[in-house]
Amino acid sequence: MNEQLLELLACPICKGPLQLRRETTELVCHADRLVFAVRDGIPILLSAEGRPLVSDGPTAFVSPDQPER
């Protein structure tokens, strides 16, 4: 994802910064503990599309209970 685009993007809920998780191409809002998908290079920043972030550590993952949308 383009670094300039990443600097412009914000969480749809708290308007805070998003961090790109390169290995899964997802955007993470640590304040709201949500993960947003990036599909075909397009960030899906709808509040209903956010999935819970289970852990903030290096092994952070998305809850397996949440269906893929």
Q: What is the largest CA-CA distance in the chain?
A: 33
Q: Which domains does the chain have, with CATH numbers?
A: 3-52 (2.20.25.10)
What's the confidence (pLDDT) of residue 28? 96
What's the confidence (pLDDT) of residue 37? 96
Residue-by-residue DSSP string for 4-28: HHHHH---TTT----EEETTTTEEE
Taking residues 2-9, report their average pLDDT: 89
**Distance between CA 7 and CA 45 in Å, rounded?**
14
Over residues 15-52, the pLDDT tens digits come to 999 999 988 899 999 999 999 999 998 999 999 999 99
Q: pLDDT: is 59 or 49 the higher one?
A: 49
Q: pLDDT: is 60 or 53 the higher one?
A: 53
What's the confidence (pLDDT) of residue 57? 57
